[in-house]
Amino acid sequence: MKTKKFSDDRGEIFAFNDLTEFKPKRLYVVKNWDKKTVRGWHKNIGENKLFVCVKGVIMFLTFADEHEVDIEKTILKEGESFQVLEGVWNGWKALTDDAILLGLSDAKLLDRDDERLDPHYFMSKKEKDYWAVRDR
């Protein structure tokens, strides 16, 4: 999904003019306290999500199954968007201290949890420098 940025002397607008295929039912905004916070490490069941980097830079890792075949790394800069489809494992973290992420979901919030991975999942992997986890 492409966003279109409009700027003038008053400020900026990021427009989403082609949401015809994605029908959001809820949205949320996330700002982490620091860059060591990792979010996600789950796969959505019965839900597709669209993420927009509102500010800063954010990195996603996605893969189709827990065997990590074809890990895809996606970097989002301000105004860029990324869709995570149902059944895709995903996790994300901020690469800048000021990062803000807007999440849109095509499902109502349900009283269930998606399938989750251990938060330390990538510590033994080649991406471990990016995914060091700060425990709660």
pLDDT in tens, 103-121: 999 988 876 667 887 766 6
Q: How far apart are CA 77 and CA 98, in angstroms?
A: 12
Q: Evaluate whether residue 86 is within a structural domain.
A: yes
Q: Evaluate whether residue 11 is within a structural domain.
A: no
Q: Evaluate whether residue 27 is within a structural domain.
A: yes
Q: Evaluate whether residue 132 is within a structural domain.
A: no
Q: Evaluate whether residue 70 is within a structural domain.
A: yes
Q: Evaluate whether residue 80 is within a structural domain.
A: yes
Give me the mean pLDDT over the 34-53 stretch.
86
Provide the number of structural domains found in the chain.
1
Q: What is the Cα Rg of the chain in Å?
A: 15
The range of the structural domain enclosing residue 51 comes to 20-109
Which strands make up the sheet holding 26-30, listed edge to edge? 26-30, 100-105, 49-55, 81-84
pLDDT in tens, 59-110: 998 887 766 667 788 999 998 989 999 889 888 989 999 999 999 999 888 7
Q: Evaluate whether residue 4 is within a structural domain.
A: no
Q: Evaluate whether residue 71 is within a structural domain.
A: yes
Each residue of 93-109: b (16+ CB within 10 Å) or e?
bbbeeebbbbbbbbbee
* Mean pLDDT value across the chain: 81
Q: How far apart are CA 92 and CA 35, in angstroms?
A: 10
Q: What local confidence, expressed as pLDDT, does residue 38 receive?
A: 81
CATH of the domain at 77: 2.60.120.10
